Amino acid sequence: MRAREWSLLVLLSVLWGGSFFFAKLAIGELRPFTVVFARVAMAALALNLMLSLTGRSLFRQGTPWATFVVMGLLNNMVPFSLIFWGQTQIASGLASILNATTPLFTLVVAHLLTRDEKINAAKAIALLFGFAGVVLLVGPNVLVGDDFSFMGQIACLGAALSYAFAGVYGRRFQIMGVRPMQAAAGQVTTSAVLILPIMLVVDRPWELAGPPSMTVWAALVGLALLSTALAYVLYFRILAAAGATNLLLVTFLIPVTAILLGAGFLGEHLELRHYAGMALIGLGLAAIDGRIAARLRAAK
* pLDDT tens for each residue of 198-239: 999 999 999 988 899 999 999 999 999 999 999 988 888 887
Q: Is the pLDDT of residue 164 over 70?
A: yes
Q: What are phi and psi of 291, to 5 degrees?
A: -65, -45
pTM to 2 decimal places: 0.91
Q: What is the dihedral of CA 16, 20, 25, 28, to 10 degrees?
A: 150
Q: What percent of the chain clears pLDDT 70, i.e. is strictly above it?
A: 94
Least Cα distance to 1 among 295, 174, 230, 239 occurs for: 239
Which region among 20-34, 37-51, 168-182 has the lowest average model confidence (pLDDT)? 168-182
Average pLDDT taken over every residue of the chain: 89
| Mean pLDDT (whole number) for 64-78 | 95
Question: What is the sign of the dihedral through the CA atoms of 138, 142, 148 and 154?
Answer: positive
Q: Is the pLDDT of residue 299 over 80?
A: no
| Mean pLDDT (whole number) for 81-96 | 95
User: How high is the pLDDT of residue 251?
Assistant: 82
Q: Is the pLDDT of residue 163 over 60?
A: yes
Which region among 17-21, 145-149, 292-296 has the lowest average model confidence (pLDDT)? 145-149
Q: What percent of the chain clears pLDDT 90, i.e. is strictly above it?
A: 60
Which region among 45-49, 105-109, 135-139 has the lowest average model confidence (pLDDT)? 135-139
- Helix, strand, coil percentages for the chain (3-state, nearest 5): 80, 0, 20
Most confident of 84-88, 181-185, 239-243, 291-295: 84-88
User: How high is the pLDDT of residue 245?
Assistant: 64
The model's pLDDT over 144-159, given as tens digits with 9 standing for 90+, comes to 545 668 889 999 999 9
* CA 76 from centre of chain: 8
Q: Is the pLDDT of residue 143 over 60?
A: no
Q: Do the Cβ atoms of 209 and 40 come closer than 8 Å?
A: no
User: How high is the pLDDT of residue 142?
Assistant: 56
Most confident of 76-80, 122-126, 252-256: 76-80
Q: Is the pLDDT of residue 44 over 90?
A: yes
Give the pLDDT band of residue 140 (cuts 50, 70, 90).
low
Q: Where does residue 243 fall: left (phi above 0), alpha (psi -120 to 50 degrees), or beta otherwise?
A: left
Whole-number Cα distances in Å, 16 to 93, 128, 144, 229, 291: 12, 26, 31, 11, 23
Q: Is the pLDDT of residue 122 over 90?
A: no
| Separation CA 149–CA 287 (nearest Å) | 29
